[in-house]
Amino acid sequence: MILIILTVLTWVTACTKQKPQPLADSAKKEIVLAIGGEPETGFDPTTGWGRYGSPLFQSTLLKRDKDLNIVNDLAIGHEVSQDGMVWTVKLRKNAKFSDGKALTATDVQYTFQAAATSGSSIDLSNVKGVEIIDDATVKFTLKEPQSTFAQMLVATGIVPKHAHGKDYALKPIGSGPYKMLQWDKGQQLIVEANPDYYGNKPFFQKITFLFLGEDAAFAAAKAGTVDMAAIPAAFSKQAVSGMELKAARTVDNRGIMFPYVQSGGKTKEGYPIGNDVTADSAIRKAINIAIDRKSLVQGVLEGHGTPAYTLNDGLPWFNQDSVFGDADMNAAKKLLGDNGWKDTDNDGVVEKGALKATFNLLYPSSDVTRQSLAIATADMLKPLGILVKAEGKSWDELEKQMHANPVLFGWGSHDPLEMYNVYSNKFGGVEYYNPGYYNNPKVENYMTQALRATNENDAWAFWKKAQWDGETGLSAKGDAPWAWLVNLDHLYLVKSGLNIGNQKIHPHGHGWPVTDNIEEWRWNS
């Protein structure tokens, strides 16, 4: 083990080419970070880069502040027509790309047209057209009103039409706070401050991102060769000299998706659909009531997280009335008994007629945290009389089995559209959207009304009703198509004196959401 750590540290030092730093930390203008994985497809916003955090090299029309309110970025203002069909965006005139050329409405039009045809995770199917009014004005015309269209303007970094070629993802040019200096694939990314950036000038002139696994990042933090390292909860109890543990609150959630329909169906690929046990609402609700989420946070996450009750806890469209009492084994047992689930043969597993309350709970085998959550949940359900077998699978295997077996998934976004994607009957069985085939027409109607609202604030009332309207909803008080478990804190070892500013609630952990406010980072004086 000692030899492994020494080898890692030797590699880290060599790859960063660090020399002894004579300056005090307060004067250092360079930092080294090990805060996440390497983007597999590069740094092109039109194919998805930056969807879960700042695009870093590029800037966006709008952005969200620390309270998730929408504010201007490249835009100096925007207007939405009364019918919600036309969004007109006025651009600042002082924005330049890192190659010195001006950013204009032509680049905005091009970016969204390219994103719409990229086949990526960016859904711009509701955009009828993008029109240039003048160099500083762009008009988006939608096919239908879409309250969540604002998030498209928040999350899509603008690329230059004149320099968006086949190699762009490898050598990005943008109008963001940093520009690429060097990318050694599989090892590191080095960026430097963009002198033409129109916003608040970042303090740090050079940042090196190291692409290290969790063990190697932790070892580098212990050796003092990085200024910040992302770590898993399992390492959080170990003090590291000269480093402080920082926890960012998130909606990076983990939960159990239940097949909602009975067995017997097949996907077009021939994969089985449905599960007779989890199709019973009493099973789904009893599981939700019995699970002790606080114990999962303490036992699996070492206290670094929060119990999760919905897909969007703590966000502006979260319905607080969706929260229910959990860790109540007696209530869960009563619910099962009242709905015909009894252990008549005294084998410790309840049954309803000939149907035994047992199923497999699948999780991606590469994810240790999900494995621990799955095993802990299975143990919690034994006293309830539900026998759960936790099984790790590859993602290829999960795709084939997820329509007929509960799966431990993870989501989390600043976009309420995610709730629609996860629960809408429109997406039943489409990739990872609604693999359990949940369907409630009343909930569907609420979500459709939310989408068709002409602004976010009006939409929030409908998103909340979809979760729970007092009678039905997609929460555990209603149909319980999921059992949400925990929201993970994002944990970082940060060098003492390094101020990473006010972190907003982080989304799911793809990308580098901690850098969303990179312009605020500096050494404490």
Residue pLDDT tens, the chain, 525 long:
333 344 444 444 444 444 444 456 767 999 999 998 898 889 999 998 988 778 899 999 999 988 888 999 999 999 999 999 999 999 999 999 999 999 999 999 999 999 998 766 678 889 999 999 999 999 999 999 999 999 999 999 999 999 999 999 999 999 999 999 999 999 999 999 999 999 999 999 999 999 999 899 999 999 999 999 999 998 999 999 999 999 999 999 999 999 999 999 999 999 999 999 999 999 999 999 999 999 999 999 999 999 999 999 999 999 999 999 999 999 999 999 999 999 999 999 999 999 999 999 999 998 989 999 999 999 999 999 999 999 999 999 999 999 999 999 999 999 999 999 999 999 887 889 999 999 999 999 999 999 999 888 899 999 999 999 999 999 999 999 999 999 999 999 999 999 999 999 999 877 789 999 999 999 998
The domains spanning 2-38+185-248 and 45-170 adopt the same CATH topology: yes
> Phi, psi at residue 460, to the nearest 5°?
-55, -35
Amino acid at 39: P
The CATH superfamily assigned to 45-170 is Periplasmic binding protein-like II (3.40.190.10)
Q: Which residues contact 324 (CB under 8 A, 6 or more apart)?
A: 288, 289, 309, 475, 476, 477
Q: Which residues contact 244 (CB under 8 A, 6 or more apart)?
A: 493, 494, 495, 496
What are the helix (H) ranges across 300-452? Answer: 329-338, 368-381, 395-401, 417-423, 441-452
Strand-pair category, 482-488 with 253-257: antiparallel
The CATH superfamily assigned to 253-488 is Dipeptide-binding Protein; Domain 3 (3.10.105.10)
What does the alpha-carbon distance between residue 398 and residue 76 come to, in Å, rounded to a whole number? 45
- What is the distance of C-alpha 217 from the center of its chain? 22
Architecture of domain 2-38+185-248: 3-Layer(aba) Sandwich (3.40)
What ranges do the domains of the chain cover? Answer: 2-38+185-248, 45-170, 253-488
What does the alpha-carbon distance between residue 334 and residue 317 come to, in Å, rounded to a whole number? 32
C-alpha distance from residue 167 to each of 170, 172, 177, 182, 191 (Å) = 5, 8, 21, 14, 18
